[in-house]
């Protein structure tokens, strides 16, 4: 069952940031508890850090990369073919995505959209506030701006992949934002690339926290690689990925059972639960033991794609029999109580290796690509590839991504889309149509802002 998380709202202008109501308020002032003056928030590095910490809390629980029911790990996993949805509610929003029967009034679709733009607003508040601050050192300004740019870019990337053409804004001016039109996905990817390249310069390789809960330059380079590969800039992505792979900061983890332990040196970036000993959102979201799942379970199509000797199937998939029915639980995160050694892993070295294999294969460097996919396969305990054509290798990489990253941040959807393979879902998803490569823009947003028209095809 999902734990309740009370939230405390801080309003900066027209945006807001979230923090735990049970914790000491991160920002203290004589203003009312729901209203804080922008100049005060960015007067000192401690209050600016508090604003950024609130944004990280938002990422953990409400953003596209949340491991909970609102994140795309679940929503895009069930939208494709990795996860079965068992959520029954008055609106059935997640269930409709699972059945590919969603419409423009779907509340899960609206939640992804509104949470994303709320977080973009918060990131813009931090970027603009830090730039105009006279009380923050230049070194701290670089760090704060770099992290906020990274977060904003990550969210924009997911919006572009899920919705296609969307508004791009860097301002907190309500009069501007309420009537913004869309820019093309192609234009948006260029803007995201430019923002990430700026963030790469602003941040260092070193981590500001030993648990790697804040992104460093290498985490930004991985995000940049995803953006470059979506634009088919394979050579540029290869260089970014090799730079990460060669860093002494990261050590390959050969033990599948340790992949999601927070101390791993294969981890580039992870999110820490808000309270000590809290379970990760992933552990809560996919947990069921003796009762029929009421959230999500792994699909038989996914489970059957593994060979029996694959250690990922043995360690990350738990078969549970209930009333003679077989269900499959995602067992990547296991600590549902008294959690001391798991954080939510966002970026890890295995993704670097598979993206590097893909970028090399796309450049017909099949021989160079093989060691990277084989490293992942060797860790899983399955047969290594010895030779392959470009097409065969790319298909193997797509398969390996699925087995390695199921339930993780919509990886299956992103990988299929990047390889122009989303329509292969027609064979396993009875209601899949070509236009399902994009979600509809929320109808309530179109009514509020007609400049968002036209609606995506099919909706």
Distance from C-alpha of 347 to C-alpha of 167, rounded to nearest angstrom: 26
pLDDT at 11: 34
* Residue 37: pLDDT band with limits 50, 70, 90: low
The pair of structure tokens assigned to 228 is 């470059």
Distance of CA 70 to the CA centre of its chain: 11
pLDDT tens-place string over residues 90-142 = 788 999 999 999 999 999 999 999 999 999 999 999 999 999 999 999 999 99
The pair of structure tokens assigned to 44 is 């000192």
- Longest CA–CA span in the chain (Å) reads 68
Task: Determine the average pLDDT of the residues in 248-268.
Answer: 98
Distance from C-alpha of 401 to C-alpha of 358, rounded to nearest angstrom: 10
pLDDT at 174: 86
pLDDT tens-place string over residues 259-282 = 999 999 999 999 999 999 999 999
| Closest residue by Cα to residue 72 from 108, 126, 35, 18 | 108
CATH of span 7-274+344-437 = 1.25.40.390
pLDDT tens-place string over residues 207-246 = 999 999 999 999 999 999 999 999 999 999 999 999 999 9
DSSP run (H or E) holding 97: helix 93-98
Which three-class secondary structure state does DSSP give residue 39?
helix
pLDDT tens-place string over residues 281-292 = 999 999 998 888
For 186, phi and psi rounded to 5 degrees?
Answer: -60, -45
Residue 445 has pLDDT above 90, yes or no: yes
Burial class (CB in 10 A: 0-12, 13-18, 19+), 335: middle
Distance of CA 3 to the CA centre of its chain: 21
pLDDT tens-place string over residues 40-65 = 679 899 999 999 999 999 999 999 99
The pair of structure tokens assigned to 311 is 């250690």
| Closest residue by Cα to residue 21 from 281, 274, 282 | 274
DSSP run (H or E) holding 197: helix 185-202
CA atoms within 13 A on the CB side of 53: 17
The pair of structure tokens assigned to 55 is 């944004």
Strands (DSSP E) along 137-206, which ranges?
A: none
Cβ neighbour number for residue 173 with a 10 Å cutoff: 13
Cβ atoms of residues 370 and 40 within 8 Å: no
Distance from C-alpha of 418 to C-alpha of 118, rounded to nearest angstrom: 27
Distance from C-alpha of 399 to C-alpha of 216, rounded to nearest angstrom: 29
Q: Where in the chain are the domains? A: 7-274+344-437
For 217, phi and psi rounded to 5 degrees?
Answer: -60, -35
Which three-class secondary structure state does DSSP give residue 287?
coil
Higher pLDDT, 18 or 85: 85
Cβ atoms of residues 103 and 440 within 8 Å: yes
């Amino acid at each position: 069952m999902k734990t309740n998380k009370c939230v405390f709202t801080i309003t900066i202008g027209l945006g807001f940031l979230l923090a735990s109501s049970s914790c000491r308020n991160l920002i203290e002032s004589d203003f009312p508890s729901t209203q804080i003056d922008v100049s005060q928030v960015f007067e000192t590095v401690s209050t600016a850090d508090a604003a950024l910490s609130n944004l990280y809390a938002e990422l953990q629980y409400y953003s596209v990369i949340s491991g909970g029911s609102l994140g795309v790990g679940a929503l895009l996993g069930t939208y494709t073919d990795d996860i079965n949805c068992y959520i029954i509610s008055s609106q059935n929003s997640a269930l409709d995505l699972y059945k590919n029967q969603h419409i423009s009034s779907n509340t899960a679709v609206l939640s992804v959209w509104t949470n994303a733009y709320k977080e973009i607003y918060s990131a813009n508040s931090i970027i603009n506030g830090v730039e105009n601050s006279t009380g923050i050192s230049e070194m701290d300004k670089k760090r704060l701006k770099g992290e906020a740019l990274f977060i904003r870019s990550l969210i924009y990337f997911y919006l572009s992949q899920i919705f296609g053409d969307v508004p791009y804004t860097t301002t907190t001016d309500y009069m501007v934002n309420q009537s913004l039109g869309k820019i093309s996905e192609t234009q948006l990817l260029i803007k995201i690339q430019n923002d990430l390249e700026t963030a790469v310069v602003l941040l260092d390789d070193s981590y500001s926290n030993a648990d790697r809960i804040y992104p460093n330059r290498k985490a930004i380079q991985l995000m940049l690689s995803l953006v470059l590969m979506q634009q088919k800039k394979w050579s540029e992505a290869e260089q970014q990925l090799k730079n990460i792979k060669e860093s002494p900061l990261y050590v390959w983890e050969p033990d599948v059972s340790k992949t999601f332990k927070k101390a791993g040196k294969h981890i580039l970036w992870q999110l820490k639960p808000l309270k000590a000993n809290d379970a990760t959102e992933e552990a809560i979201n996919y947990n069921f033991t003796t009762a029929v799942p009421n959230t999500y379970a792994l699909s038989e199509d996914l489970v059957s794609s593994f060979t029996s000797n694959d250690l990922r199937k043995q360690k990350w998939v738990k078969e549970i029999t209930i009333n003679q029915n077989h269900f499959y639980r995602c067992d990547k995160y296991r600590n549902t109580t008294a959690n001391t050694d798991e954080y939510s892993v966002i970026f890890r070295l295995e993704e670097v290796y598979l993206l590097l294999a893909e970028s090399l294969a796309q450049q017909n460097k099949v021989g160079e690509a093989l060691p990277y996919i084989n490293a992942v396969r060797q860790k899983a305990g399955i047969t290594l590839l010895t030779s392959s054509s470009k097409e065969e290798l790319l298909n193997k990489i797509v398969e390996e991504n699925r087995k390695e990253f199921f339930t993780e941040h919509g990886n299956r959807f992103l990988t299929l889309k990047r390889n122009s393979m989303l329509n292969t879902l027609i064979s396993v998803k009875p209601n899949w149509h070509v236009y399902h490569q994009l979600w509809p823009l929320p109808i309530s947003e179109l009514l509020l802002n007609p400049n968002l028209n036209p609606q995506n095809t099919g909706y």
